[in-house]
Amino acid sequence: MQNSNIEVVVLAAGKGTRMYSNLPKVLHKIAGKTMLEHVVQTAKKITSKPIHLIYGHGGEILKNSISDSQLDWTLQEQQLGTGHAVKQIIHKVNPENDILILYADVPLLTKETLSALIKSKGSTALSLLTANFDKPTGYGRIIRDNDQRIIKITEEKDATSEEKLIQEINTGMMLISGQYFSSWLNRIKNNNAQEEYYLTDIVELAIQDGQNISSYTTDNIDEVTGVNNRQQLAYLERQYQHLQANKLLDEGTTLADPERIDIRGSLTVGKDVEIDINVIFEGDCHIGDNVKIEANSIIRNSSIGNHCTIFVNSLIEDAIVDDHCQIGPYARLRPQTHLKQAVKVGNFVEIKKSTIEAKSKVNHLSYIGDTFMGSGVNIGAGTITCNYDGANKHITTIGDDVFIGSNSALVAPVEIQDNSTVGAGSIITKKVDKGSLALTRAKQISISQWQRPIKDQ
């Protein structure tokens, strides 16, 4: 549930030098979606208010990457630290709200953890999200007194050898009372090893002002792990996919190997579904009951009905497949394809922008494009709908119970009416009437005692 008293600030100004890329770091992707998008979508589950996004490097690229009216863009012209970054939006926040600080390079953070952080704040002025790392190198350490009260955060480069042994780390995420927000930011100094303005210094400022500091410690280290290089990006990709695979298993889906499935978007799956290795789901996908998807198939922004089989190495994109269909192997359904009930699409068949009615078959080596096909149709091997004249696309209409012989070309615009037959090897350029046979074949010639050419010596 969204909280109307919280404003979210997302820090996205870092260049990401260790990514060795022309892209801003936060535009690198986890599960087909930029890290920035992951964080923004999580933030929108927390608040209905505008999300303050602080950017620096690659501003225009960032703005072009995400179109969202809820984003309030603020430029940090000089990168002088996290405290300096957040200071850029002092004049934009309401002092009656709490301010939630997030980072655009921490993509796996969940709504549940943020809700726990918000709950932990209670009546305190500041609450920190912390975690316990076995190897905390590189992170700021949470310093507590003998009563386990937080008294400061020490950055790695400023920590003593004793402080470096502390395993509780600062994730950077925090919730700040708006009434103290401006005052604390304006009092932050840069007298540290980096000569930067650390946002974490507000902890000591809160203590100076006699304010208690609360915290919430997450057990999920991966969700608070940031990305600074390609290795970390790849690691979080696999962790994300591991979570998605476990969710499918918990819901009753059979996975041949949970380590070899990729979900790059949203996926809903019915009962008794079997998914073989190296299957990729992209965008918004819906899978019905009793579906079997064989190895190396890709399903993108598509809906698969009940009792369907997708054979190996098939690609389905922006398509609708109704119940009891069979697709593949090596089939491709392109955008705006709709297969009605019990349609069969076989090996090396490509279908684009076409509707195929119930119980029709396109089994072998065919291209069907810009076509309305009736029910009970049989398309022979090697059939081509010639839909493009070099400038425009044209429609092919095939009625019910039509039989198209192998190696035929249907030159659009053209209509093949109900119960008609097209003989194998025909080139059809005119309407074929209902119940008729259409043939276009040259006369066969046989030359006796034919001598094959002989290779020159």
- CA dist 44 and 50 (Å) reads 9
- CA dist 178 and 174 (Å) reads 12
Question: By the 8 A CB rule, do 117 and 173 touch?
Answer: yes
The full DSSP string for 319-349 is EEE-TT-EE-SS-EE-TTEEE-TT-EEEET-
The structure tokens 């690198």 sit at 28
Say whether 28 is catalytic.
Answer: no
Return the closest-CA partner of residue 12 out of 117, 99, 80, 106.
106
Instruction: Compute and round to an integer the Cα radius of gyration of the chain.
Output: 31
Q: Which two tokens stand for residue 204?
A: 């000591």
Three-state DSSP at 438 gives: strand
Residue 360: count other Cβ atoms within 10 Å of its Cβ: 24
Return the closest-CA partner of residue 270 out of 295, 301, 235, 305.
305
Q: Taken in order 215, 216, 222, 227, is the CA torsion positive or negative?
A: negative
**Catalytic residue selected from 242, 307, 338, 364:** 364
Active site members:
364
